Each structure stands twice: as structure tokens, then as C-alpha cells.
Structure 1
Amino acid sequence: MKLIRYGNVGEEKPGLEFEGKWYDMSHLVREYDEDFFAAGGLDKLKGEFDPKLAKEVDQNTRLGAPVHRPGKIICIGLNYRKHAEESGMDVPKEPVVFFKATSSIVGPNDAIEIPKNSKKTDWEVELAVVIGKRANYISEEEAMDYVAGYCLHNDVSEREFQIERGGQWVKGKSCDTFAPLGPYLVTKDEIKDPNNLNLWLTVNGKKVQDGNTNDFIFNVQHVISYLSQFMSLMPGDVISTGTPEGVGFGFKPPVYLKGGDVVELGIEGLGSSRQEVKNYEG
């Protein structure tokens, strides 16, 4: 299944894409949130959905992020070998873990706003994993049992805030609009192998990232198991698994986003998104 949330900001309703059409699911589901996943909502939705009984949704309607208010966005840094090389950093011996504020989440085609005083706003196409049930101290062999599905994520990053201002990376990752998510949450049964997916990103039509998750240092199963040793992974939590080479600060000289730029990105099987870049307006 491909889950969507559609409507104006703050007024999104749960929906579903089926055979190229969008359908409203608000007669069956209140929201795609922690309670939904924890209560086995995916199985219920699969069993009860009937396109003949559902209202079709105009595909010109805005899409919101496919998960409503996840408890956490957990990110893995430097998780592609070639990206670690372009960053001039050693290949990690254990996953590099940081958080991204959930207030940064926007819809897949909403604008990216360059923050006040930003000089180095950058892009990162990433595979995001959505957790389906609570996970604690699980093995890699068990990990996929805890996955609800996957979605596309642009882990927008302000490199000066992240790297040059001291402290943790989170402040360079958490500005408003820095987490366009979606268009869909694609359930895990539709993705044969999350560790072998093509992913790409363009800026103003020029392809700058063109990779595959087979370049992961730590694959999806390892990341889920690893994180579960340190914290409870809750239903609806989002794990963003890192970005391939081709980010702006890896260019020589570096290239960063500016007002008027257009970013487009996609992952095999998970759809694509488009964000226009605008300057902070106060």
C-alpha cells in the first residue's frame, strides 16, 4: 500500500494511492500516527479498503508528510562509503546517530525556507524507515518485523550551523522546513530489498546525487537493531538512513542552495518530490 496524507497545512486527512488514484481513508482511519501503527492499523486498512466505497481525491491537492507527528526522527550520518570519502571523514566503526526536530517536517512538495543567517543550506536525499511496532533490544534477524514501510526524505542541512558552530549536529538539521517527507509511506511488502534501491537528487535540473543504498556502511537491519539497544523505537518513528555522495559541501568549491532554486529527488519505488527554495522572510 501507498499511504498519503492530503489537504492544507494542519488540516491533512489520511488517504491511499491505489492503481494510480488517490482515495480518502478518513472513514476508516483517524490518522497515520503512533496509535494507528501500534493498533495494527496497516492490517486493518488492508482488510477494509474498498475503492468502490471510498471517495476519490483530486491529485492537484497538496500532500502532507505521510506520517503524522512521529515521536522521533533519528538520523544516521556518514552511512554511505562514498559520502564519507567526499566529506573527508573516516568510515564510521559504529553508526553515527543524531536527531532531527519533528517541527522540521513538511510535505514532500512544500517549499524549503533558508533559515535566518544561513550561509550554507544543503541537500541530502535519504531513505527513511518508518517503525511499525515498539522495538527494544532486537536482533538484525528480527529487524524487518518491526518495519511499517519506507518513504523519501530530503534531510536538508545547514552546514555552518551543523559543523562550524560547535555542539551537536541537531541544530544544523532541525530548522523549519528541513524535513520534506513523502510523497508516500510505501509498506514494506512493496519493497523487495531496501538495501538495493536507486536514489537521486537534482538542483535546477542538474543531477547532483545518483546513488544506491547498496553503498550503505550499515544496512537497514543493522541500523534498526543498533538503535534498539539504546532507546525504544516507537510506532511511527522515522529513521533516516543517510545520504549518498553529491551533497553541496562536497563540491570544490562547495555549492549551497539559494532562493529560487528547485530541488527534485526520488527513490526507486517510493516516488519523487519537488521543493522550491525561498529565503527567510521573518
Structure 2
Amino acid sequence: MGELYRLAVSETTDGARQAVIEYNGQLLPVDAALGERFETITDLQPLLDQWNEVDTLIADYVQANTTAFSRGGPVGEATLLAPLAAPGKILCIGSNYHDHIAEMPIPMTPTYPYSFLKPTNNTVRGTGDSVAVPRRVSMMDWEAELGVVISTKCQDVTADQALQYVAGYLNFNDLSARDWLASKPPVGVDWVQHKAFDGFAPMGPYLVPARFVADPQDLPVRLTVNGKIKQDSNTREMVFGVAAIIEHASSIMTLYPGDVIATGTPAGVGHGRKPPEYLSGGDEVRVVIGQLGELVTYIV
């Protein structure tokens, strides 16, 4: 397994994007481990496209050069961006925690992973970014979720093989507009107005390689709003675990490196509270899952 490192994308002093390795609170450019393998690494996507080889090279470098990070820049002085600026797709799983199903209440436990897609070129945000309450939305909600990032093109994989196709994990906040969930449209939930507004997919700040997550079904999930704990659960509450989700998703569509799967949210969302609570301008939302760092979103 080796020394824990995490991958991120930081903003340079001239406003450019730079892929970095975080180790022990210090950052070094990924170039330090990979040399001139890539011309310019401004996003994690090029690494994911060659993940099996790149992951080993970075792990070996960190193991042999831990002292080099003392010359790196402190994380606290860096501006971290979304690890992936535009994933190929964001597949979200709904109603996937037993405790969340109980709080909503959802009339039945799904018999297969219930899913929907989020657009990528308008929703993705990084830690510390602001997200505006959409003009027509009065019921904006939070959802802390474990994000799974695919490493290798795959189709029709079985659950016992599925984790081999995971590059790593990240925090994900599946921001939601409950207005159209509550109004019960004639053809069911309007998933576009529910989930697809600008900024509704904050993620990061890190991609933690799968080698450091021994069991994705045993990770604490916590979300706070303005410092108050709203969600405090564990991924063991999932109805369908990561492996089962990948098996199901890959039976429908080919998964590609850099695709993100948001695996559902536990109890504690605003819409399930009595009385309900929703986000408004000035709120600060923080998501922490295991060793994945802290994803901060400011609501404006």
C-alpha cells in the first residue's frame, strides 16, 4: 500500500491549472514523479487515461522521496480546484442508503441501483467555490456522497471484478432542488430541474487512490451546514455497494476513465427533516468522507 498520498489540481500564481501530489500536508507537481511523460498536466484526466502505470509510478516516487515534499508548498496556501474539470459523465445513484430511504420516506427499497445522469460542463465545482441558489429554486438541498472515479474502460463487469476498475474516491455533494420533487410532475421526478443547475456537482478536493481505501463500504460520511452536523453516517448503510453499482452501470453503458459515480446519500438531508431545512445565501457546507479531505461549498 505504501505511504498515503492524494492527487489534486491547484491554481498556480499565474492562474493556470496544475496537477499535484499531496503528501503530509505538502504539495508537489505531479511532474516530479512522472518527469516529461506528459507535456502539461492541468487536470487528472491524462493520468486516469494511463492509470495502472501512472498510479504505480507515483506510489513508488512517494515511497522513495518523502523528504522531497518538505520543499513543496503547504496545502493551506494553495487554491485547490476540482480534480476533474469535465468528467465524461457523472452517474448518480438515488435512494441508496437504508437510513435515507427511511427518512424521506421512500415507499420501497430499490431492487436495483436507481440512477440518473448529471451534465458535466456546467455543474462541476471545486472546494471553496461558490454556488448560487438558482433564481427559481426555493428548496435547495445538500447530499454528501462518496464519489467513485473509473480508471479503465469497462463493460459488463461482474461485482467481484468491479473494484479493479476504480482509480480512486472523492467527496461529492449532489446538490438538489427539491421544488420539482415536491410538486410531483405528471411523468415523475423532473431530474433536470432537480439536479442539473449550474454548480450542482461540487467534488474534491482530492482523488484518493483506491489502493488506500481498503473497503469502500466502511467509510464515515459527514456533512455540516454552518458548522452544525446534518449528516453523520457510514457507507455500510448503502443498499447497493460500489461493486454492485459498477456491475449494474456497466451492464447499461460503457464506463470510461474519469467517469464519476456518485453513490447516493445517507440520512440527514434537509428535505427529510421535520420541519424541512434548505440552503440559502451565506450558508457554508462541508463534506468529509474518510481520508478524502474536506469539500467546502459556499452558497450565495
TM-score of the superposed pair, with normalisation by structure 1? 0.91
Q: How far does residue 162 in structure 1 lie from its aligned partner after superposition?
A: 4.7
How far apart, in 1, do the equivalents of 2:284 and 2:104 lie?
Answer: 24
Give the conservation status (yes or no) of the 8 Å contact 1:23–1:54.
no
How far apart, in 2, do the equivalents of 1:77 and 1:10 lie?
Answer: 36
Between Structure 1 and Structure 2, which shows a larger proportion of helix residues? 2
Of the three residues 39, 48, 67, the one matched with 2:50 is: 39
Q: Does residue 1:112 correspond to 2:131, yes or no? A: yes
Q: Does residue 1:230 correspond to 2:230, yes or no? A: no
Moved more, 40-49 or 265-274: 40-49
Of the three residues 62, 69, 72, the one matched with 1:56 is: 72
How far apart, in 2, do the equivalents of 1:247 and 1:92 lie?
Answer: 19
How far apart, in 2, do the equivalents of 1:16 and 1:165 lie?
Answer: 45
Q: How far does residue 31 in structure 1 lie from its aligned partner after superposition?
A: 4.1
Q: Does residue 1:93 correspond to 2:104, yes or no? A: no
Deviations 1:246-270 (A, max 9, x none): 0000012211001111111201111
Of the three residues 169, 173, 192, the one matched with 1:150 is: 169
How far apart, in 2, do the equivalents of 1:22 and 1:53 lie?
Answer: 7
Where does residue 255 of structure 1 map in the other structure? 277
Distance 1:108 1:122, change over 3 A: same
Give the conservation status (yes or no) of the 8 Å contact 1:112–1:277.
yes
Of the three residues 183, 201, 206, the one matched with 1:164 is: 183
Amino acid at match of 2:177: E
RMSD: 2.1
Of the three residues 142, 151, 159, the one matched with 1:140 is: 159
Give the conservation status (yes or no) of the 8 Å contact 1:163–1:169.
no
Give the number of equivalent residue pairs.
278
How far apart, in 1, do the equivalents of 2:291 and 2:252 lie?
Answer: 31
Q: Does residue 1:18 correspond to 2:19, yes or no? A: no
| SS state at 2:252 partner | coil
| SS state at 1:199 partner | strand
Deviations 1:70-101 (A, max 9, x none): 10000000000111111121111111110111
Specify every segment of 5 or more residues in structure 2 that has no aligned partner in the other structure, as ranges: none
Distance 1:64 1:161, change over 3 A: farther
- 1:176-195 matched pairs, under 5 angstroms: 176-195=198-217
Q: How far does residue 116 in structure 1 lie from its aligned partner after superposition?
A: 1.3
TM-score of the superposed pair, with normalisation by structure 2? 0.86
Moved more, 187-196 or 24-33: 24-33
Moved more, 72-81 or 21-30: 21-30
Amino acid at match of 1:139: T
Distance 1:171 1:44, change over 3 A: farther
How far apart, in 1, do the equivalents of 2:215 and 2:265 lie?
Answer: 17
How far apart, in 2, do the equivalents of 1:37 and 1:168 lie?
Answer: 33
How far apart, in 2, do the equivalents of 1:126 and 1:109 lie?
Answer: 17
Give the conservation status (yes or no) of the 8 Å contact 1:162–1:173.
no
| SS state at 2:129 partner | coil
How far apart, in 2, do the equivalents of 1:221 and 1:10 lie?
Answer: 38
Where does residue 77 of structure 1 map in the other structure? 94
| SS state at 2:258 partner | coil
